A and B are shown apart, each in its own frame.
Chain A
């Protein structure tokens, strides 16, 4: 393998994993935009997506093309439930209180997954048959194509939703100014519920498309959550496009770190570069420096 094709290989595998970071980051962004909450349970949504698909297949005997949407649907319902039971009853409290509540939720979801699914590591079959594709000396797994395709569709769908639909615009209005939005007749509560549903949905999607490539277990949510948060900060908190780009960039940095430096230090390499980027642009790559009201 030549140096160029090795580099291409790192970029491909990095972008594949990074797509999941990007989808997790998108989930963070959507909830942050309507509530200012950093949802620590976001990584657990990603974990649940992968795990539920595995177990629908294993225990329920549900065929894969059905198991995947089923898993995503169940996680979406979990997201709605989390909002109804733990966030809505205490609305109006400081974001910090809510953030600690989401830490509690993540402990609960992880503990529940451990009890139900056990501590083993599982893998999901690839979405389609077929061997790896040769691409200028690098190999591309067919599952990577699924990952890129689904991520792209999700991002386009999101963009359409926020730009072209009334509900999407209403959600953006809540992000700008909750009170003004509510005075304009927007039902803020529903928008918050919707944002939890959305972020659980995209998180679960990210988990389920990655599960055939990397393995999944009850405790993968912590690291995926951290990476997702890092990605949305890197992209500029609040910017959905930046979140996805941030995720893919983080994945590629990590993969290059593993390939060119050492696999043990791959996360360290990614985070050092990320910190350098943050010091250079303190509001993220695509974030706008906001004027602070005194």
Chain B
């Protein structure tokens, strides 16, 4: 086992213990939501951070999967596993159909293309009232159940969501360290140079786009069977922007950054509830300050903090010896 997997294992162990340390169940809910956002942010970071392709419409894939499984299981009585499978299949299929023409666009044009797609899907959620329940939403979605086991308590669902998040993180980690990951980074640096070197850029871009939509779809299906209710506002343009913010604030091309970004931006509004009315102002100010003072995102900030702590420890350990200390990154 190498360093990468050791880090993830430590994280998984910590995640397993956390529910026993929480003062109340309210935090469990927030952690479940941040777990869902972690799945979405890790997927989006594969697309944005590694392959350098922007998406301002990821909430659409999140929503398509949530609505599909919600409608099939809630309205039509399908078993939950079949609903989820259909949700994942539909979301990724739509992603593929969209990816083929859209990924020919570059930079800000790509951002606009995905934004437009996201808005169209959002409007359909609102307007196809007979199917989706319209602006007031779709109720009566069953709780997650697998082979007769119903995951009804928050604690059980916490393990489901974070288990999925850690598995998908592992998949992403292996991907970015593979030949595929190197190809994606090459595309990020220069698409033309990558294609000259024999990287089939369009194929890789489509693959990573569809994969990141799959991550969003997993998040959406888990969301629908947790909240048991879906409404369009959850999958609006604002959510797409929030996801992009999580990725950039966390740290581009850093999977741990995506986790940090998702956790931070889910917990921050909860902490700010205490200063009602002014919470939105402080939220905006904190976002600006973080981006101004941590150019590499939260991941870099955490790394610096870790480095400073490590060098402090080392210095303390080396006290008395003449040639102590060292250069910490």
Are chains A and B native binding partners rather than an unrelated pairing?
yes
A interface list, Cβ under 8 A from B: 38, 40, 86, 89-90, 93-94, 96-97, 100-101, 103-108, 110-112, 114-115, 222, 226, 229-230, 233, 237, 262, 264-265, 267-268, 271-272, 274-275, 278-279, 282-284, 292, 294
The reply to whether B113 and A268 contact each other, CB–CB distance below 8 Å, is no
* B139 is an interface residue with CB less than 8 A from chain A: no
How far, in angstroms, from A272 to B98 measured CA to CA in the complex?
Answer: 12
* B72 is an interface residue with CB less than 8 A from chain A: no
* B166 is an interface residue with CB less than 8 A from chain A: no
Partner of B281, one of A97, A101, A108: A108
- Smallest CB separation, A257 vs chain B (Å): 11
- In the assembled complex, which residues on chain B have CB atoms less than 8 Å from the CB atom of A106? 284
Q: Which residues of B (93-125) have their CB < 8 Å from a CB of A?
A: 101-102, 104-106, 108-109, 111-113, 115-117, 119-120, 123-124
How far, in angstroms, from A222 to B109 measured CA to CA in the complex?
Answer: 19
Partner of A112, one of B106, B281, B287, B291: B281
The reply to whether A115 and B283 contact each other, CB–CB distance below 8 Å, is no
The reply to whether A114 and B280 contact each other, CB–CB distance below 8 Å, is yes
* B292 is an interface residue with CB less than 8 A from chain A: yes
- Smallest CB separation, A26 vs chain B (Å): 16
How far, in angstroms, from A105 to B101 measured CA to CA in the complex?
Answer: 33
The reply to whether B120 and A115 contact each other, CB–CB distance below 8 Å, is no
How far, in angstroms, from A49 to B284 measured CA to CA in the complex?
Answer: 21
The reply to whether B123 and A38 contact each other, CB–CB distance below 8 Å, is no
The reply to whether B116 and A282 contact each other, CB–CB distance below 8 Å, is no
Partner of A233, one of B112, B278, B295: B112
List the B residue with the shortest CB-CB distance to A98. B291
- Smallest CB separation, A84 vs chain B (Å): 13
B interface list, Cβ under 8 A from A: 101-102, 104-106, 108-109, 111-113, 115-117, 119-120, 123-124, 126-127, 190-193, 196, 237-238, 241, 244-245, 248-249, 252, 277-278, 280-281, 283-285, 287-288, 291-292, 295
The reply to whether A274 and B116 contact each other, CB–CB distance below 8 Å, is yes
The reply to whether A233 and B287 contact each other, CB–CB distance below 8 Å, is no
- Smallest CB separation, B297 vs chain A (Å): 9
- Smallest CB separation, A106 vs chain B (Å): 8
- In the assembled complex, which residues on chain A have CB atoms less than 8 Å from the CB atom of B127? 262, 264-265, 268
List the B residue with the shortest CB-CB distance to A267. B123
The reply to whether A226 and B288 contact each other, CB–CB distance below 8 Å, is no
How far, in angstroms, from A108 to B281 measured CA to CA in the complex?
Answer: 5
The reply to whether B280 and A111 contact each other, CB–CB distance below 8 Å, is yes
Q: Could you give 13 example pairs across A and B, Cβ below 8 Å?
A: A38-B108, A101-B288, A106-B284, A111-B283, A114-B280, A262-B127, A265-B123, A271-B116, A271-B117, A271-B119, A272-B116, A275-B117, A282-B104
- Smallest CB separation, B129 vs chain A (Å): 9
List the B residue with the shortest CB-CB distance to A99. B248
How far, in angstroms, from A113 to B108 measured CA to CA in the complex?
Answer: 28
Majority secondary structure of chain A interface residues (helix, strand, loop or mixed): helix
Partner of A97, one of B115, B119, B291: B291
The reply to whether B237 and A104 contact each other, CB–CB distance below 8 Å, is no
How far, in angstroms, from A115 to B276 measured CA to CA in the complex?
Answer: 11
Partner of A107, one of B105, B284, B292, B295: B284
List the A residue with the shortest CB-CB distance to B115. A226
State the 4 A-B residue pairs at the shortest beta-carbon distance, nearest first.
Answer: A111-B280, A108-B284, A107-B284, A104-B288
How far, in angstroms, from A292 to B245 measured CA to CA in the complex?
Answer: 28
The reply to whether B123 and A278 contact each other, CB–CB distance below 8 Å, is no
List the B residue with the shortest CB-CB distance to A287. B109
Known: A38-B108, A100-B249, A278-B112. A90 touches B295 (CB 8 A): yes
- Smallest CB separation, A285 vs chain B (Å): 12
The reply to whether B123 and A279 contact each other, CB–CB distance below 8 Å, is no
The reply to whether B123 and A90 contact each other, CB–CB distance below 8 Å, is no
The reply to whether B119 and A100 contact each other, CB–CB distance below 8 Å, is no
- In the assembled complex, which residues on chain A have CB atoms less than 8 Å from the CB atom of B113? 275, 278
The reply to whether A275 and B108 contact each other, CB–CB distance below 8 Å, is no
List the A residue with the shortest CB-CB distance to B297. A97
How far, in angstroms, from A111 to B249 measured CA to CA in the complex?
Answer: 20
The reply to whether A282 and B280 contact each other, CB–CB distance below 8 Å, is no
The reply to whether B288 and A282 contact each other, CB–CB distance below 8 Å, is no
- In the assembled complex, which residues on chain A have CB atoms less than 8 Å from the CB atom of B105? 278-279, 282
Known: A96-B252, A264-B127. A222 touches B119 (CB 8 A): no
Tell which of B108, B119, B193 has the most Cβ of chain A within 10 Å.
B108
